[in-house]
Structure 1
Amino acid sequence: MSGLSTSELIIDIPGRPDGSALNLQVAPGEIWGVLGPNGAGKTTLLHTLAGLKPPRQGGVELGGVSLGRMNRRALAQKLGLVFQDRLESFPATVLETALIGRHPWLSLWESEQGEDFARAEAALSELDVGHLGSRLLSTLSGGERQRVAIATLMTQDPGIWLLDEPTNHLDLHHQVRVMRMLRSQARVGKAVFMCLHDLNLAARWCSHVLLLYPDGQACWGTTDTMMVCSALERLYNQTLIELSDQQFRLFVPTTD
């Protein structure tokens, strides 16, 4: 499977200076977490990496091929995106929604076959929404819709997964379930790149971290080198306490 790379990339946020150019190499098997305060450009970055928003400068490549040279169908076979907020524009069941993930793999007039249904049903089961297959998506809770969206990406089966706050609306059990699933995907060669607000999810599950500052500056590296109080406190303008044992590290904001 191929990875994602950026060359001198600067995302376009009106009224903000250029900031740091991003030269990222997101390799198969890696899990990247993007951290930053509101307005730092996390969602804009994801949309730029997905080819939905042009950059101010630089470019994005998948497996050495520029996004601009790929048609949308070929791109969707290699890269998928889960949005932070989704508007359901037409009534559809949960299963019908998950099957949308197979569209990049079907010809113009081809309909879903048994394997497509099997992939969708397996993904819904993995995300603990398989029992909701016949329900209209509009009748689900926010957390259930979030899991259906991730299951749709799983059904799509791209090599590169872009996710905007994948644990949004999820209870603790389903947060862990989603993160375990993403780790499993990375272990079979997928590249995962996601925006997060929870520092402890990033510290626990990510192999790499990108810190986006409100002024456009950025730094990135392995999780161990990025997840340090001095960098995170500057990122969020908030003092933190780090707690750790032999297995986990936790970051807790002070109340002073």
Structure 2
Amino acid sequence: MRVSADDLRVRLQGRPILDGVSLSVGEGEFVGLVGPNGAGKTTLLRALAGLVPPSAGRVLLDGRPLCAVSRDERARRLALLVQSAGIGWPMRVSEVVALGRLPHRRAFAALSEADHAAVARAMARVDVTHLRERTEPSLSSGERMRVLLARALAVEAEILLADEPITALDPAHQLDAMDLLRAISRTGTGIVAVLHDLTLAARFCDRLVVLHGGRIVADAAPALALTDPLLRQAFGIAVLRGTHADGSPYILPWHRAGHTREDDHDPSGPDPVRAPDRS
């Protein structure tokens, strides 16, 4: 399965948010969406899910216009984790996670054995099984985020779209979540995740798509995408680079980088960086 954006443009309240965005994500890929605040990351994710209508361009699911795919099929094949999503009433954690099975059930039907098994797998993967009898109001923000991630995983969709999946998690659970997302991608699920932590994004993702001013300015492996000039121009930062004892490279955002007057007023942003053509 593959979800794609083709010259996608989105305007919200008359203001351009995305400007000619094209990308494609297929099975087994773990793609990080990164960029400064207001770059259009969440809007792009919601557009890929069919929740934001494009003003131009289109979203494709396996080559078919997303608008031509039924809601039921979308719900089974595309799972969405929205960072700001609330639960709304005091449901038990097990019931919240079970909501992820709705696309696989008839209206008002009881959970099947397959549903129960999927819910149990999702809770175990995100380490919330011990919370199963707790209700939503009693959860911390980090626990709530893990429960919402479990709900998205319970769908067992072919593509997972995750908006800031490690927000509010402590460092140990951030590492667990990134490890889990990478492991899920290795089983064939395509994952697109909005991330703010460049260190973790560079370490765990196969590709990074960098947005700046509503445009893609890099779409490549982390080492190719996060160049010093791009980080300076898109994020306004300088980084430290190093190599772990196991040979893995890493970067650490270190301080703000000064922009030239030309950089500050250049509407086009950094020169685009692209991975080599894989076709």
TM-score range relative to shorter protein: over 0.9
Report if the CA contact (8 A) 1:146-1:168 is conserved.
yes
Matches within 5 A, 1:66-85: 66-85=65-84
Q: Which residue of the partner structure matches residue 247 of structure 1? A: 248
Equivalent in the alignment of 1:115: 114
Would the aligned equivalents of 2:60 and 2:66 in 1 still touch at CA under 8 Å? yes
CA contact (8 A) 1:13 1:41 kept: no
Residue-by-residue CA offset, 1:164-209 (whole Å, 9 max, x unaligned): 1100011111111111111111111110001110001111011111
Corresponding residue of 2:135: 136
In structure 2, the gaps of 5 or more residues are 258-279
Shift of 1:27: 1.4
- Which residue does 2:265 correspond to in 1? none
CA shift digits 1:64-123 (9 cap, x unpaired) = 121101121110110011011122222210000000000000112322122211211221
Q: Which residue of 2 aligns with 1:225?
A: 224
Q: 1:69 & 1:175 partners in 2: Cα distance?
A: 36
Deviation track 1:119-151 (CA, whole Å, cap 9, x = no partner) reads: 112211111110110110121001101001111
Partner SS for 1:116: helix
Query: Paired residue for 2:55?
Result: 56
Is the contact made by 2:33 and 2:210 (CA closer than 8 Å) also made in structure 1? Answer: yes
Q: Which runs of 5+ in 1 are unaligned?
A: none
TM-score, scaled relative to structure 2: 0.86
| Bigger mean CA offset, 143-152 vs 242-251 | 242-251
Deviations 1:211-233 (A, max 9, x none): 111x3232212222102121112
Q: Give 1:20 deviation, angstroms.
A: 4.2
AA in 1 matched with 2:248 = Q
| Cα pair 2:237 2:253 within 8 Å, conserved | no
Single out whichever of 111-120 and 155-164 deviates more from structure 2.
111-120
Give the secondary-structure state (helix, strand or coil) at the position aligned to 2:237. coil
Whether contact under 8 Å (1:101, 1:156) holds in the other structure is yes
Contact conserved, 1:16 with 1:216, CA < 8 A, in 2? Answer: no
Identity over the aligned pairs, expressed in percent? Answer: 33
SS of aligned partner of 1:11: strand
| Structure showing greater relative contact order (alpha-carbon pairs closer than 8 Å, 6 or more residues apart) | 1
| 2:277 paired residue number | none
Q: 1:77 to 1:205 in 2, by over 3 A?
A: same
Match of 2:25 in 1: 26
Contact 1:88/1:138 (<8 A) preserved: no
Q: Secondary structure at the match of 2:86?
A: coil
RMSD between superposed Cα atoms in Å: 1.7
Are the counterparts in 1 of residues 18 and 44 from structure 2 also a CA contact under 8 Å?
no
Q: Which amino acid aligns with 1:181?
A: L
1:208 corresponds in structure 2 to 207
The match for 1:162 is: 161
The letter of the residue matching 2:214 is G
**Structure whose residues are more often strand by fraction:** 2
How far, CA to CA, are the matches of 2:231 and 2:14 in structure 1? 25
CA distance in 1, matches of 2:228, 2:241: 7
CA distance in 2, matches of 1:93, 1:177: 23
Residue 236 of structure 1 aligns with which residue? 235
Distance 1:61 1:254, change over 3 A: same
| Residue number in structure 1 paired with 2:96 | 97
The 10-residue stretch of structure 1 (163-172 or 231-240) with the greater mean CA deviation from structure 2: 231-240
Tell me the CA shift for residue 240 of structure 1: 2.5
Q: Give the whole-Å Cα distance in 2 for the aligned partners of 1:28 and 1:19.
A: 24
TM-score relative to the length of structure 1: 0.94
CA distance in 1, matches of 2:18, 2:256: 31
Q: CA contact under 8 A between 1:32 and 1:208: conserved in structure 2? A: yes
> Quick one: distance in 2 between partners of 1:141 and 1:167?
14
